[in-house]
């Protein structure tokens, strides 16, 4: 009798689990509808399990319902250990749009056929053990938008990899792998990559890339005219030099060991390197050279003398001083960051041609005086950062709008202000509708105004 009761309870529990869609091997989640397969250790077991079920029992907060395979648009693997994807299982879900097979011990990727890959938009194969992508397994995924191969062990990219990706692709993540070189021929071969329907981001950051092999072909195109944007992230690798000839919209090569760069990009980010010389094959719009070994912009060569540059960041370099003619040709400049470059004074005429400038960062230098005469040309300046200097006075602050008519924000923290003087500045700025930017690290236990530390009681 006890045995019969015990057997009945086991059967009842199993049935209850299956009805609730919470078996040992799967469960469903809703909003959006997703099937989660879990606990498998063999591809054949997954495929047999999928083939044994034409309908799936799911539970939405106690409300039980049946879902057919054609209704599922998302599948996720949890606690699964397999060497390759269960293609015969996936083929049973014709409307699959998203597959998350991360953390599944996968070592190789087979080809997706048109039958069960036609709707797939997101494919996540991150955090597996893939070493090589071969035979263009993704070429039939006609609607694929996002391919995540990050955190694998990929050492080699096939030469036709980018040429065989579909036109719908918007982002390919190959970061945190073991790639040792990048061949620009990958971008130039056949130039199919520039015929994609969407903008494309390729992430190759945090690999072991030491060599950048420039293409032997002339692949300089005007991507802006083509209506296409290519972003290439090569940051956090081991580059010492780069010569890029292919037209790239955004090139990020920060956090390498670069000493010299030749680039053909609209936006170039070269922060945290050892740059001493830099050359551009075309005029960029945005250049960031923070935290390098530059001592003069004489070693940064633009094709048309900086004429197209709209944003320039040379913060935390070793300039010490700037020549009057440094920015003379940058008449389209809108944003200029000169943070921490050792400036002790601003020469009259340094900003004389920058009538379009809207943002100026002079923070964390050694400026002890603010002479409004040096800023007379900045008719469109909206934000001025003077924090972290040695300022005690702002000459003619009562009429700052006469000097800078469009000024909206000013940062003054980290200087040598008298508390009473700083109070006068704040009151005057309020009347002139200039907002004093609140301190990033507000002072609490010392004298301060608006979180900005001040040191003296008298003017």
Distance CA 341, CA 72 (A): 57
Quick: pLDDT tens for 280-290: 777 889 999 99
**Do residues 419 and 455 touch, judged by C-beta distance below 8 A?**
yes
Of 33-47, 50-64, 201-215, 222-236, the poorest mean pLDDT is in 222-236
Check residue 438 and give its pLDDT.
Answer: 85
Instruction: Give domain status of residue 387, yes or no.
Output: yes
Check residue 340 and give its pLDDT.
Answer: 96
Instruction: Give domain status of residue 362, yes or no.
Output: yes
**430 vs 220, which has greater pLDDT?**
430
Check residue 7 and give its pLDDT.
Answer: 41
Check residue 5 and give its pLDDT.
Answer: 41
Indicate the length of the chain as a whole number.
459
**Do residues 275 and 260 touch, judged by C-beta distance below 8 A?**
yes
Distance CA 130, CA 125 (A): 9
Handedness of CA 423, 430, 373, 383 (dihedral sign): positive
Instruction: Give domain status of residue 344, yes or no.
Output: yes
Is the entire prediction scored with pTM above 0.85? yes
Q: How does residue 22 score in pLDDT terms, banded at 50, 70 and 90?
A: very low
Distance CA 38, CA 99 (A): 14
Instruction: Give domain status of residue 198, yes or no.
Output: no
Looking at the 3D structure of the chain, how many domains does it have? 1
- Average pLDDT value for residue range 299-323: 80
Check residue 299 and give its pLDDT.
Answer: 66
Instruction: Give domain status of residue 372, yes or no.
Output: yes
- Domain of 410 in residue numbering reads as 319-459
Check residue 116 and give its pLDDT.
Answer: 60
Check residue 174 and give its pLDDT.
Answer: 96
Residue 276 pLDDT more than 60?
A: yes
- Average pLDDT value for residue range 268-295: 88
Instruction: Give domain status of residue 380, yes or no.
Output: yes
- Average pLDDT value for residue range 90-105: 94
Check residue 397 and give its pLDDT.
Answer: 92
Distance CA 423, CA 203 (A): 49
Of 8-22, 219-233, 242-256, 283-297, the poorest mean pLDDT is in 8-22
Check residue 17 and give its pLDDT.
Answer: 35
Distance CA 415, CA 412 (A): 7
At 161, give phi and psi (nearest 5°). Answer: -55, -55
Residue 160 pLDDT more than 80?
A: no
Instruction: Give domain status of residue 255, yes or no.
Output: no
Residue 23 pLDDT more than 70?
A: no
Check residue 226 and give its pLDDT.
Answer: 57
Instruction: Give domain status of residue 447, yes or no.
Output: yes
Residue 192 pLDDT more than 60?
A: no
Longest dimension (CA), the chain: 102
335-337 and 311-313: which strand pairing? parallel
Distance CA 424, CA 388 (A): 20
Residue 222 pLDDT more than 70?
A: no
335-337 and 359-361: which strand pairing? parallel
CATH of residue 382: 3.80.10.10
**223 vs 290, which has greater pLDDT?**
290
Residue 261 pLDDT more than 50?
A: yes
Check residue 14 and give its pLDDT.
Answer: 34
- Average pLDDT value for residue range 314-333: 90
Check residue 196 and give its pLDDT.
Answer: 59
- Average pLDDT value for residue range 422-443: 91
Quick: pLDDT tens for 64-87: 889 999 999 999 999 999 999 999
Percent of the chain with pLDDT over 90: 54
């Amino acid at each position: 009798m006890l045995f019969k009761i015990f057997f009945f309870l086991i059967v009842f529990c199993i049935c209850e689990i299956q009805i609730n869609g919470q078996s040992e091997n799967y469960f469903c989640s809703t909003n959006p509808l997703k099937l989660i397969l879990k606990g498998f250790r063999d591809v054949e077991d997954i495929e047999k399990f999928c083939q044994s079920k034409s309908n799936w029992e799911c539970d939405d907060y106690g409300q039980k319902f049946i879902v057919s395979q054609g209704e599922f648009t998302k599948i996720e693997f949890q606690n699964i250990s397999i060497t390759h994807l269960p293609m015969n299982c996936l083929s049973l879900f014709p409307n699959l749009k998203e597959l998350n097979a991360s953390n599944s011990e996968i070592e190789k990727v087979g080809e997706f056929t048109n039958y069960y890959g036609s709707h797939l938009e997101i494919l996540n194969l991150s955090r597996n053990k893939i070493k090589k992508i071969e035979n263009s397994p993704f070429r039939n995924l006609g609607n694929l938008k996002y391919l995540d191969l990050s955190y694998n062990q990929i050492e080699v990219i096939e030469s036709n990899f980018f040429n065989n990706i579909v036109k719908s692709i918007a982002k390919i993540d190959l970061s945190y792998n073991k790639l040792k070189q990048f061949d620009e021929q990958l971008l130039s071969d056949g130039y199919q990559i520039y015929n994609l329907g969407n903008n494309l981001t390729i992430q190759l950051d945090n690999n072991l890339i030491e060599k950048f092999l420039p293409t032997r072909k002339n692949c300089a195109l005007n991507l802006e005219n083509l209506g296409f944007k290519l972003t290439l992230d090569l940051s956090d690798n081991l580059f010492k030099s780069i010569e890029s000839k292919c037209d790239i919209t955004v090139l990020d090569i920060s956090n390498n060991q670069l000493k010299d760069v030749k680039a053909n990009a609209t936006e170039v980010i070269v922060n945290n390197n050892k740059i001493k010389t830099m050359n551009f094959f075309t005029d960029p719009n945005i250049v960031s050279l923070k935290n390098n070994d530059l001592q003069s912009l004489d070693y940064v060569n633009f094709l048309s003398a900086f004429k197209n540059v709209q944003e320039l960041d040379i913060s935390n370099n070793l300039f010490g001083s700037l020549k009057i003619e440094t920015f003379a040709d940058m008449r389209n400049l809108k944003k200029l960051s000169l943070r921490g470059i050792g400036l002790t004074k601003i020469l009259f005429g340094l900003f004389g041609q920058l009538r379009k400038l809207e943002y100026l960062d002079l923070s964390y230098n050694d400026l002890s005086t603010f002479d409004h005469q040096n800023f007379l040309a900045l008719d469109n300046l909206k934000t001025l950062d003077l924090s972290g200097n040695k300022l005690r006075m702002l000459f003619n602050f009562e009429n700052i709008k006469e000097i800078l008519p469009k000024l909206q924000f000013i940062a003054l923290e980290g200087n040598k202000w008298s508390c009473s003087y700083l109070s006068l500045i704040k009151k005057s700025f309020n009347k002139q509708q200039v907002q004093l930017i609140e301190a990033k690290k507000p002072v609490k236990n010392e004298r301060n105004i608006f979180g900005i530390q001040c040191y003296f009681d008298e003017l």
